[in-house]
Amino acid sequence: MPGQRGGTTRTAVLTVAVALVVVVVGALAIAPLRPIATTLAIRFLNQFPSSGGPPAPIDAADTTGTRPGTLVSATTMPGVTRTIEGRQLRAARVVYRSTSGDTGAPTVVSGSVFTPKDAAPEGGWPVVAFGHGTLGIDPPCAPSLSPSLHNLVSVVRVLTGLGYAVALPDYQGLGVKGVHPYSDARTAGLNMIDAVRALRHTFGDVSENWAALGDSQGGGAAWAADEQARGYAPELRLVGAVASSPAADISGIVAKAEQGTLTTEQRPVMQAVVESLARLHPDLDRDDYRGFEARRHWDELSDCGAEGAYARAAAIRRIGPREFTPRTPEAAERLRGLLADWALPQQPLSAPLYVFYGGKDPFIDAEWTRSAIEQACALGGTVTIDFDPEGGHNPANALAMLDWIADRFAGRPAPDDC
C-alpha cells in the first residue's frame, strides 16, 4: 500500500513529511532566495559533467501520439539522478502536448516524471502529480531545467519513497517557449493532468490511479485539476486532490493594491500578475499598475536566477505598499476582471478535495480561500477543510496530507466538511 512500502514506520513517514514541508517552504516564495550551499552545488554540477553523460532519449517512451498528454520528447535527467536525492529515481524530462485553459488551443509544455527503481506493485505505481509553488514566470524558472528541480528533488524523493510515481509539470510557458499565464489555475491544472499522461507514456508499470498535490500556485493547479479531470481525462482515475494554501481566487489583491494594504509578500505577487497579463494582453499598460520604485526594479523582480537573488530581495525591500496602486478605476476594474476570469471554483469537483489554509497567510488572504471553499461546497462535492487560525502559508507538517492521500488510494471515504 502506498505510504507503507518496505515496512516504513509512522516515525519515518513523519520524518519525510517534515522534509516535504521544509522543501515546500523554499518553493513558495516569489523568485526564492537559494541557500549559498545549494547555489554552489548547482554550479559544481554544471561545471563537471556526470559519468552518465548528457541527457539521452528514452527509447521505450511512446512518442507516436498527437492528443493531449502525448510526448514530443522524453530524455534522461543525469543532472538529477547523479545527486544524492535523485540516485534512486528513474527520471525523465518530458516535453508533451497539453491544452490552454483560456482558449482550448493545443499547447506544448514541459515537465519531469519519476518512478522508484524497485519493482512496481500489482497494477503499477499509483501516481501523485505535484504542483509547485511560484518559482517565476520566465522559461528558465522551470523545475525540469534545474539539477535540484529548484529544490524540489527532495519532494520527489519523499513521494517515491512512499511508493508513488511522480509527475511534476513545469506549467505552460516555463521550460519551453511561450507565455506563462501566472495564476491561471485552469491551464496549470490541465498541464498537471497531462503530466500524468506523459508519465504513463514514458515509463511502464504506472497505474491509471492518481492524486493531485500542490502548494500555493500549485495548490490552485491541484484544485483546478480536480474540477477538470472527469471530463478532460476519463481514462484516468483521480482519487483526490490536496490544495495547500491554494491560489484559488486572488482577484482581491486588486482592492488591496487600491487601498495600499498589500503585504510585503503580496507585492512581488502583484508584479508577477501584471507582467504575465501584460505579456498575454499587449494592450495592457504596465505603467497603469506600477509606481517609480516598482518600475525601476521591475526586471529584477522577474529574474528567477540564483545570481539575481540578492538584487530581488533588495528590490522587494525598497518597494512600498502603494507602488502597485492602479492609476485609474478603469485600470483596476480591468485587472480585477482578468483575475476573476481565472478564479476557482469553476465547476463541480471530480473527486474529494483537501484544502489547508492559514489565518495569518501573508501571501493569500484567508478570506479569499474561505470564500472559494464555500462556493465549491455549494457546487457539490466533498471538501476536507484544514484551517489553522494561527497558521501562515505552510502547514506545520504534511503528515495529515500524506495520510489523506493514502486513504484515498485505499478507497476509504473522505471526511466532508461542507
| Intervals of the chain under pLDDT 70 | 1-52
Please list, in sequence order, all residues whose beta carbon lies within 8 angstroms of the beta carbon of residue 333, skipping any fewer than 6 positions away: none
Phi-psi region of 149 (alpha: psi -120 to 50; beta: other; left: phi over 0): left
- Tell me what pLDDT residue 52 has: 55
The upper half-sphere exposure of residue 3, i.e. CA atoms within 13 Å in the direction of its Cβ, equals 17
Cis ω for the linkage preceding 54 (within 30 of 0): no
- Tell me what pLDDT residue 126 has: 98
Q: What is the pLDDT of residues 78-90, one digit of tens each?
A: 999 998 888 999 9
Q: What is the pLDDT of residues 9-19, one digit of tens each?
A: 333 343 344 34
- Tell me what pLDDT residue 396 has: 85
> Do 264 and 289 form a contact (C-beta atoms < 8 A)?
no
Helix (H, G, I), strand (E, B) or coil at 417: coil
- Tell me what pLDDT residue 4 has: 41
> Do 77 and 112 form a contact (C-beta atoms < 8 A)?
yes
- Nearest of 374, 378, 384 to residue 354 by alpha carbon: 384
- Tell me what pLDDT residue 20 has: 52
User: What is the edge-to-edge ordering of all strands in the sheet holding 106-116?
Assistant: 71-76, 89-99, 106-116, 165-169, 125-131, 206-215, 237-244, 353-358, 383-388
